A and B are shown apart, each in its own frame.
Chain A
Amino acid sequence: MRKEKFPIGIPGVNLREIEREVPVTEPPAWPINDKLKHVGKSVKRTDAILKVTGKAKYTADINLPGMLQGRMLRSPHPSAKILSIDTSAAEAFPGVKAVYVLRSNMSGAEPKGGEDNGYPEIKYAGQAIAGVAAKDGQTAEEALKLIKVEYQTMPFVVDMDEAREPGAPLVFEQQVEQEETGGGGGGAKGLEQQGNVRGPSTKSFFGGPRGDVEQGMAEADVIVEGIFRTQVQTHSALETHGIVADWKPDMLTVYASTQSTKGVRSEMASIFDLPESKVRVICEYMGGGFGAKYGAGNFGVTAVNLSKISGQPVKLMLDRKAEHLAVGNRPNSWQELKIGAKKDGTLTAIKQESYGTAGIGLGAGVGRVAQAVYECPNFLTEQYDVFTNAGPGAAFRAPGNPQGAFALEQLIDELAEKLGTDALELRDKIDNSVVRKEERRLAAKAINWSRRKKPGSDTGVIKRGIGVAQSTWPRLIDIDSTAEVRMYRDGTVEIRSGVMDIGTGTRTILSQIVAEELGLEPEQISVKIGDTLFPNGPASGGSKVSGSITPAARNAAYKAKQEILKQAAPKMEEKAADLELKDGMIVSKTSGKTMSFKDALKQMRTSQIMTSASREDDYGGFMVGTFISHGDLGSVQMAEVSVNTETGFVKVEKIVAAHSCGRPLNPMQIQSQVNGGVIQGISYALYEDRVMDKNTGHMLNANLDQYKIAFSMEIPDIEVINIEEYTARSSTDAFGIAEPANIATAAAVANAIYNAIGVRLYELPMTPDKVLKALNLV
């Protein structure tokens, strides 16, 4: 170990130095961004030209010689037992090369105890049953219709409130479990299950209940409470889930539209009983995931089997309908929240109880904002999963947290009003986060908070309002993150990692990091990622890519630098320790002698230098055992809306989004990502809603016209404020921004609507009918 001094804090607020012990193999501390050349600059995306010319190849674009087209048969019934399946006619259909019937359901919660007749029970309309591979899509579709399935239909329930009632049709007869994931899917083990209700879950990685809420409520001078509801939202990435599977005797190659190449590899290896070394997963370009694209999936297992049977590569992309039905969604929520406070605003207790349905899956909680944002000695949350006959939920951008923030931040607003305090002043009092305090200050200035009027005080049909909401997200780290840096004799430099670029700009920041360390330009760094032939990188989820892979990348580049300097030193008649890399040159700090980097590479002993490094543990240790870095990613968003009080139509006019993500690596990309989070937040707040028919058990709007998503005309003026915040935790000290950008938006819009019309909305999405109802016009 050695001692090293690092910048810590927020420039202009509390920037100072801290000394930490770091492993001797780690590179020296970087100064703050304005002293760096590439890091912290808005470098253009390295893959930009490929994306604007249509040359970037996504999974859907992969075309292998002899490739077949796969299609899937899905259940038209929401609940049924499959008595028999006859595939003979489909198999005999000209042009069909393989038919495969699924023997288990790969997604959602798993019942304990096996199936009787070898077919998985049908638990939702749209559940995968079988797949066909044929010479073209048309043939495969026709063949699907020839598969004869004999169903015994069963009672079903798709409405959460009905599913909670005693005597409701049981989605699972048995106790179920689903592995908990860092991203938010699955659930704690061994919780009680009664009827369709499982829980409560009372813990998160921030710990369990604190103090005594009843005592805290008794001590309160003011109590605010409410019941809040949020809807089911589907991820609706523009590229649907899908894979191209190429089964060869010596190697299974899978091109997958996935957020985790290593995750797909390990699942495929385990399902097909192959060593991981014989499974290769590639995801070069990917058309959006937002949390839904992990693992092999029913479609993946089907495609691999079809390839295995036919001996040919098989492409299987989901259609838009299946994408809505079967591969993930943000669960809904019913949430009762109660907050007690002293007259001076000090919180005395927070009590939260929630129910949510992730369909046949687990993971329908309301997150941890209520637990983590404000100081409060007494806290209790009880979060229940409710099973319904609907497609399984999946992690979706800050799982649970937008739901939680929608309730928490509205009640904090209500509390401020009851106490006669300004909404920001109360937060200044009860929120001890330094970064959020600065964010509140800057955001308030940007939106001109001081002009905020009394709720509902605008005259006229159209009323305007301003609102605020806050959030937090942990700094998650995937320790299994490794990068390899290669230097070649021809002067080129390459970085490799299995991490993929979901669109956030991972390629670009990796090129910036390596260029910074080696004194080169970012465009000189060739970035090879999204392939399990490279060392494992983190999954693109949980806002953990930047925090996980950039330290590994810098460390690997640093090691490669040590090696090339060691080799160049004798040729320059210098000591390696005196040499540095700067602007494409090796420079002696003592004599000023130089040698070009290219020349040094030309004279390497071997034709290449390859170094790899992983991420060290956090400097100063992790906060908790599951690799969470210290501190939180605090965010403050403010919204300005106009509400037509006769039609109920809400328009978001402006959002100010103030965020921190540690050391910002590429401000332009950060801004893009925050814009995206805000827009998804607006879409969630006002438009998106999965509509299920209670009587038939079907989703009615499994498309992109009746499932309403914000398009161009729904986009307000968005101002992004990005705080530089140093924490001295790794060799890059950078963290992600995807999840934080999305958490507070709906709550900020809700508070702005309240400020506009003086009536609070307790249910998402805040559509005209709900506004009209709140205004007593319906």
Chain B
Amino acid sequence: MKKFTWVQPDNIDEAQRQINAVTATIATGKTIQGAAVIKAGGVDLLDLMKENIIAPAKIVSINALPGLGKIGFDEKSGLRIGALVKLSDLEENAEIKKHYAALHESVSHAATPQIRNMATLGGNLAQRPRCWYFRSEDHKCLKKGGTKCFAQEGQNQIHGIFNTEICPCVHSSSVSTALVAFGAQVEITGAKGKLRNVPLAEFFVSPQVDVTRENILERGEIITALTVPAPPKGQKSWYIKQAAKESYDWALADAAVVAQMSGDTIKDVKIVLGAAAPTPYRATAAEQLLRGQKVSEKLAVQVGTAAVEGATPLAHNAYKVPMFKAIVKECVLNLV
């Protein structure tokens, strides 16, 4: 870890004044003189610094900012989660468990109990990919401002099966798989308290737009909250994470299905796949198959198949195709 200075402002204006970079840009080597970045739980940030992937000159802890550590729920306005809420607090929240089962499930399988006690929701959304080439200082890949994606011709068993042409890294926040399926919005606070609310699905950036970053955060912007719409009547959700092992592991494939049911008929549904693409992947063709239908074993199988339609697996990850089929099918069957 390179040396840095550390500040912990107690108001957001000061924090914004201090921050002059997002972690993505300093990993590209086009280092901003004296780059200063946000730190919340610090889990991913410190890991990246210890791996010599980034070396910010200053760390701006936002932990003293007021009001970012609360979870609020109301049947009408829905859920509001402060950016500094720890994953373990989300996991323990009774309303989330009750109204947003898939979110609860995704959080409780994230990382380890220790990390869930440290990691914040904001940090989880802004974390960088786990691609082993990206995480290796010896590989100057596209994402780090290099000229080559090593995964294309290399070991790509943990990579994506959709949108793989430029950089097949998958977004590693499995919590966002569920959040996107619930139609969550990110609240971002910019300079002078300027707020913008962005659908989480649009918060993530695909490599076509900018391969060096995974989200739209601009310099000085801070994620302050995440909101999830109130659960419509008849909302049912399910989430499955499939990893190589059950303890502490990154998803090989994860899926969230959030449906609005009327009896056993599906009125509306969102199906999102994680660890499938550079951003959480909406399986719209699969959703289409389900809308207006009653769940059956046969239909669930078809939905699973439709979910991976158009997949372009790489040399070592074709197994993800049947794996996604299986977990999407399982999620759908669990709606009833």
Contacts and interface: CB of A to CB of B under 8 A. Distances in A.
Nearest to A770: B319
A773 B320 CA distance: 11
Given A695-B150, A695-B154, A706 B246 contact: no
Chain A contact residues (Cβ within 8 angstroms of B): what range?
35 or more
A691 B132 contact: yes
Contacts of A135: none
Contacts of B242: 647, 649, 768
A768 B244 contact: yes
Interface string A308-351: 00000000000000000000000000000000000000000000
Contacts of B248: 705, 711
Interface string B292-336: 000000000000000000000000111101110111010000000
B245 interface: yes
A705 B327 CA distance: 23
Contacts of B130: 705-706
* B133, B246, B321: most-surrounded residue (chain A CB, <10 A): B246
B319 A778 contact: yes
Nearest to B153: A695
B323 A647 contact: yes
Contact of B133 (A644, A687, A700): A700
Given A76-B138, A649-B242, A700-B136, A706 B158 contact: yes
A173 to B, nearest CB: 25
B319 to A, nearest CB: 4
Given A138-B3, A691-B155, A768-B252, A647 B326 contact: yes
Contacts of B246: 713-714
A237 interface: no
A644 B240 CA distance: 14
Contacts of B264: none
A336 B14 CA distance: 68
Given A138-B3, A647-B326, A694-B154, A714 B247 contact: yes
A372 interface: no
Contacts of A692: 155
A637 B250 CA distance: 31
Interface in A691-719: 691-696, 698, 700-701, 705-706, 708, 710-714
Contacts of A138: 1, 3
Contacts of A708: 244-245, 249
B139 interface: yes
B158 A714 contact: no
B302 to A, nearest CB: 15
A251 interface: no
A138 B139 CA distance: 24
B157 interface: yes
Interface string B232-273: 000000000010111111101000000000000000000000
Contacts of A701: 132
A648 B319 contact: yes
A125 B247 CA distance: 30
A710 B248 CA distance: 9
Given A706-B132, A711-B245, A713-B246, A646 B325 contact: yes
Contact of B245 (A647, A687, A698): A687
Contacts of A773: 319
A767 interface: yes
A696 B138 contact: yes
Chain B contact residues (Cβ within 8 angstroms of A): what range?
20 to 34
A705 B154 contact: no
A687 B154 CA distance: 20
B132 A700 contact: yes
Contacts of B158: 706
A518 B29 CA distance: 70
A698 B133 CA distance: 10
B319 A712 contact: no
Contact of B136 (A649, A694, A698, A772): A698
B138 A705 contact: no
A125 B153 contact: no
Nearest to B318: A778
Given A138-B3, A706-B130, A698 B323 contact: no
B132 A768 contact: no
A769 interface: yes
Contact of B322 (A691, A700, A714, A778): A778
B247 A772 contact: no
A777 interface: yes
B70 to A, nearest CB: 31
A700 B323 CA distance: 24
A708 B250 CA distance: 10
A371 B3 CA distance: 57
B323 A768 contact: yes
A353 B153 CA distance: 31
Nearest to A702: B136
B154 A693 contact: yes
B138 A646 contact: no
Given A125-B138, A138-B3, A646 B154 contact: no
A658 to B, nearest CB: 26
Nearest to A765: B244
A713 B249 CA distance: 11
Contact of A693 (B3, B155, B318): B155
Contacts of B1: 138
Contacts of A648: 319, 322-323
Given A691-B155, A705-B250, A767-B244, A647 B321 contact: no
A648 B133 CA distance: 26
A705 to B, nearest CB: 7
Contacts of A694: 154
Interface in A138-183: 138
A772 B154 CA distance: 21
A686 interface: yes
Interface string A114-142: 00000000000100000000000010000
Contacts of A686: 245
Nearest to B324: A647
Nearest to A689: B244
Contacts of A705: 130, 248-250
Interface string B155-177: 10110000000000000000000
Interface in A736-767: 767
B139 A769 contact: no
Contacts of A777: 319, 322
Interface in B111-145: 130, 132-133, 136, 138-139
B155 A700 contact: yes
Nearest to A773: B319
B322 A712 contact: no
A696 B136 CA distance: 12
Contact of A646 (B139, B317, B318, B326): B326
Contacts of B133: 693, 700
A693 B152 CA distance: 12
A136 to B, nearest CB: 12
A125 B317 CA distance: 26
Nearest to A694: B154
A769 B150 CA distance: 21
26 contacts: A644-B326, A646-B323, A646-B329, A647-B322, A647-B323, A686-B245, A687-B245, A691-B132, A692-B155, A693-B150, A694-B154, A695-B153, A698-B138, A700-B155, A705-B130, A708-B244, A712-B247, A713-B247, A767-B244, A768-B252, A768-B319, A768-B323, A772-B323, A777-B322, A778-B318, A778-B322
Given A706-B250, A714-B245, A768-B244, 16 more contacts: A646-B326, A648-B319, A648-B322, A687-B245, A691-B157, A693-B155, A696-B138, A700-B136, A705-B130, A706-B132, A708-B244, A708-B245, A708-B249, A713-B246, A768-B323, A769-B317
Interface of B: 1, 3, 130, 132-133, 136, 138-139, 150, 153-155, 157-158, 242, 244-250, 252, 316-319, 321-323, 325-327, 329
Q: Which 10 pairs between the two chains have the least Cβ-Cβ distance?
A: A711-B247, A646-B326, A769-B319, A713-B246, A700-B132, A713-B247, A777-B322, A647-B326, A772-B319, A778-B318
